[in-house]
Structures are given as structure tokens and as C-alpha cells.
Structure 1
Amino acid sequence: MRERIDLHLNEAPTLKTPVLIAGLPDSGRVAKIVLDQLVKTLKATPLGYLYSDYLPPRLLLKPDGTADLMKHEIFYWINKDSGPDLVLYTGDAQPILPEGAFRLSEAVVKLAEKLGVETVVTVGAFITGKIAEHPQVYGAASELVLVKELEELGVKIIDSGAVTWMNGLIPGLAKVRNLKGLFLSGETSGFMID
């Protein structure tokens, strides 16, 4: 019987105090845009990918005429300076059902642990319903000390509501496994791709 999460990983290098940054499509596609930009700008190296029954049943058509199933991708970036290395996780879509969101989020957190990650960050949208002239960054964290650090960086703290699907579950499950979890969100109207 086929696994519901089919993970394919290349051999990972030894990573230096890696931080995982994850983002999957959300309102305004903020999370996907952020991760795609990080992968491109950093010239991150592919680490692997996964296919899953939990993702929408779609075949994505590419500009060159080829096609591929929806998938999630994992990359890494080696920091040449003294800062942490990065593990980057993104994908074509969020899971369809809550069970899939939990199972895929658990798989991400387990992979993070395997790679030596101690801090997990997800990114997403903070929907305001209006177009902001100067969009703000909002955030939340698993520990008060991290909340204080976010405040010192000028991040507006989210103190009510919920972060949904994988962008919320990944840092939540990281906290359960004694990892540090943060969520950062870019302000968006929610009306268009930002």
C-alpha cells in the first residue's frame, strides 16, 4: 500500500544551528511569495520534495508544456557567515482537509528535528480587509522571550484570533516537541496577490 506522504530526500549536509522557515499558499499568497523569493535570492539547494494524498488532486501544467503533481519542496542554504543555516519548506498548495494539515505539519516538524533545527518560523498573511500604504509585519511566538524579541524588532504582536492550516500548525506542533516556534505575517488586504 502506498504511503499517504511520499517523502523523497537527498543526502543533507551537516547544517549549522539551522532554522526552518516554512510557508504555504495562503491569502494574498504572501507565504508562497516569501518562500519562493528566499529560495531564488539565496540560490537555495534542493533537499527534497513530497507528494501526498492530502494535497488537492491536481496536475499542474507548466509553461514548457510538461506537467507535475502538486507537491511540497524542501531546500537548504548554507550561511557562509556566522549566522544559522536555513531549511526552507514550501509547496503548491495547503492540504484539503484538517487531518492532512496535521499529518503534513507533523512530517515537517519531524524533518526539522532530524536536521537539528531548534527554531521553526512560518510566514503568512495578516488580512486587514483594506490596502495598506505601508504594510506592517505581525507576529506571534511560542515563548514570551521570543515575543519580546519580535517587539524589539518592530513586529506588531498578534494577541487574538488563530493562525490556520499548516502555517499555524507547524509552529504549534514545534512547541509541543520543545522547539521554538514563531509566526510572522505580512499585512495584506486579502483581495489580491501581494
Structure 2
Amino acid sequence: MKSTQINVLEKVKLDNPIFIEALPGIGHVGKLAADHIIDEFGAVKFAEIYSPAFPPQVFVDEDGLVENMINEFYYLRSNEERERDFILLVGNSQALSPEGQYELSGIILDFIEQHDVKEIFTLGGLATGHPIDESKVYGSATDIEIIETLKEADIKIRSADGGIVGASGLLLGLGKLRGLKGACLMGETPGYFIDPEAAEALIDKLAILLNITVNTDKLEERAEETRKMISKAQQIESEMFGKGKVGQGDDDLRYIG
């Protein structure tokens, strides 16, 4: 594979959908939140991204079957419980290099613009480096009007104390250049383990902003699946580079974002 490819599984026509990005990152907070929403509402996968910018590896499942590094687009149509259509982007990897991050972000933005997206939410974690009693949710946005909306939802505004690394930041920044508006929501987490409590806090605030209701009872089950995925990735990297176990355990996090 010489270039990034989008494999469209189903051609869909959506009405002014909201785009939600949640690729692996700190505490896997955003990924847990979006994967849970996909499962809870039965979102439908309609496209896949394969890219040489992803890590050079595959996963192997319990049956010995290989699983590629991939990003996946899902859609949700509006109904009695949801006023808007949604596109969600999840996956098991982000790009490894800065060049790959920029390339993939541009390709993703091209794709969602083809589906009339004008509003973006990116989801991630905000590491504290120490235990916390209760996860708060922080936010940044592309314009002051959205900042005010975040404040009304009791989301703390993250100001000039740091950037947003990876897809969650680039999709907002590059999207702003194209006239897209949006916000990044970050669940506060210690940052050194997979954190379903922070994901639940993130879902609660996102639900307020999107005017939806999300049951989070099964979130811990999703967290356990993610822990297994992380463990497999670490085992593969250990075998590739011959350095033994990388990190401090199955919950070690080294992803961008």
C-alpha cells in the first residue's frame, strides 16, 4: 500500500450530520466514549481507512485471525431520540508521524465535507499525572460562541496551558481553515490507565451538547475490550523491536492525542 485508501462500504445520504472523532489517545477516554455510543445506538459502519501512516503491524485475535490497523466511519440517522444525523470516526490507531497526521486529517476532512458536515466534535483525554476523585471535562473550540455553549454545559475551558496533539487537535484546526466549526472535549484522567469513569463524564457532557440520552451501564465492558487491544499491541511491538515488554503493564498508554 503506497497511499491512504478509503474503502466505502455503503453510500449514504445524511442531513447536515455532526461529526464526532474519537481515535485512541490519553486514557482512551474518547475512544471508549465513542465506541460505547456506537454500540448503544447501533451505529452502522459505512467506510474504512487503511493507511501506510499507521503502525506497521496487525492484531491477531483469539482464533488466530489478523486484524488490520484501521480507522472506521459509522453513521447514525436522526429519530425520535436524536434530532440530528451523526458520523463517528473510531479505530485502533492514529498515524505515527506528523506528516501522517496531517495527511490523514486532510483526507478525513475531505471525506466528511462530501457528506455535508459543518460541525465537529473531537473527543480525548486530559492527563493529570496523578489520581483524581472525580473526572472533570475540559473543552476548547473554534470560536467564542461555542466556548459560551461549553460554559453553559458546565464544561471547563482549557486555555493557554497546552495544546491538543494528534487528530483531535488537527481536525479542529484544519477544519477551521475550511470554515468548519467545532469543539474538543477532554475528560480529565490520570493518564496511565484506561479510564471508563472519565469516558462516562465525557459522554454525559457530550449528551448535553447534542441533546441525547446515553445509558452508560455497559461502559466497563467496553473498557475491558480496549485493555485487551492495548495488550495485544504492546506484545506485537515487543516482538517487532526485541526490547521485551514496553511500558509498565497492560494499561500503558503511548498514543498520540
Bin the TM-score by the shorter chain: over 0.9
Equivalent residue, structure 2, for 1:32: 31
8 A Cα contact 1:21 1:121, kept in partner: yes
Encode CA deviations 1:88-111: one digit per residue, 9 max, x unaligned: 001111111000000111111111
2:112 counterpart SS class = helix
1:1-80 pair list within 5 angstroms: 2-80=1-79
Q: Which runs of 5+ in 1 are unaligned?
A: none
* Corresponding residue number in structure 1 for 2:217: none
Cα offset, 1:3, TM superposition: 4.4
1:23–1:35 contact (8 Å) kept in structure 2: yes
> Do structure 1's residue 185 and structure 2's residue 191 form an aligned pair?
no
CA contact (8 A) 1:172 1:181 kept: no
The list of structure 1 runs, each at least 4 consecutive aligned residues, that deviate by more than 3 angstroms after superposition, is: none
Q: After superposition, where does 1:88-99 map in structure 2 within 5 Å?
A: 88-99=88-99
What is the TM-score of this pair, normalised by structure 2? 0.73
- What SS does the aligned partner of 1:100 have? helix
* Counterparts of 2:156 and 2:173, CA distance in 1: 19
Q: Partner letter of residue 179 of structure 1? A: L
In structure 2, what is the equivalent of residue 153 of structure 1? 153
Whether 2:86 is the aligned partner of 1:86: answer yes
> Which residue identity lines up with residue 112 of structure 1 in the other structure?
I
The superposition leaves residues 102-125 of structure 1 with CA deviations (integer Å, 9 ceiling, x where unpaired) of 011111111111001110110000
Cα distance in 1 between the residues matched to 2:91 and 2:12: 22
Aligned-pair Cα RMSD in Å: 1.2
The equivalent of 1:164 in structure 2 is 165
Tell me by how many angstroms 1:73 deviates. Answer: 0.5
Q: What letter corresponds to residue 46 of structure 1 in structure 2?
A: K
Aligned equivalent of 1:111: 111
Q: Give the letter aligned to residue 97 of structure 1.
A: S
The code of the aligned residue for 2:26 comes to S
> What percentage of residue pairs aligned between the two structures are identical?
31
Offset of residue 13 of structure 1: 2.4
**1:135 aligned onto 2:132:** no
Instruction: Read off the aligned partner of 2:178 and give its amino acid letter.
Output: R
- Superposed CA deviations along residues 137-171 of structure 1, whole A, max 9, x for unmatched, are 10000010000000000100010210001111011
What CA distance in whole angstroms lies between the structure 2 residues aligned with 1:185 and 1:112?
A: 22
Based on CA coordinates, which of the two structures has the bigger radius of gyration?
Answer: 2
Q: Higher helix share goes to which structure?
A: 2
SS at match of 2:185: strand
Matched residue of 2:169: which SS?
helix
Q: SS state of the match for residue 132, structure 1?
A: coil
Shift of 1:67: 0.7
One-letter amino acid matched to 2:189: T
- 3-state DSSP class of the match of 1:148? helix
